[in-house]
């Protein structure tokens, strides 16, 4: 059951990535206001200790993957896929966190 929830949340994050501006009220804002909302959402997320720990963990994993790709002497598409895998796996959850932060900011503004 837990695996299904994790997979469902991960796939939902890809939907959030594809439908970047689908938050109600976000699309009605101008370009500059949307960028301000994005920065405010990122700042809100960065102020959370758990989010900072996750970002530091992702950076550490990315550095480990880069060193492994170098030491295993991977080349071509295998190297590129191996180096991009941590970011591609984490991106949906980051987009879901961004969407929820923007929703909470827009609710506070109304």
The domain locations on the chain are 2-109
Encoding tokens for residue 66? 């880069």
pLDDT tens, 55-92?
A: 888 899 989 988 888 888 888 888 888 888 888 888 88
> How far apart are alpha carbons 4 and 98 in whole angstroms?
22
> How far apart are alpha carbons 20 and 99 in whole angstroms?
8
Whole-structure pTM value: 0.76
What is the average pLDDT score of the chain? 87
């Amino acid at each position: 059951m837990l695996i299904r929830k994790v997979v469902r949340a991960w796939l939902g994050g890809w939907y959030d990535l594809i439908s970047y501006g689908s938050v109600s009220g976000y699309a009605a804002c101008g370009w500059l206001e949307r960028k301000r909302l994005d920065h405010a959402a990122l700042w809100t997320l960065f102020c959370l200790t758990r989010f900072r720990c996750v970002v530091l963990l992702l950076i550490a994993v990315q550095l480990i993957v880069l060193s492994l790709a170098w030491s295993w002497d991977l080349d071509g598409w295998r190297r590129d896929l191996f180096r991009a895998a941590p970011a591609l796996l984490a991106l949906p959850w980051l987009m879901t966190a961004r969407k929820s932060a923007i929703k909470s900011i827009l609710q506070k503004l109304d």
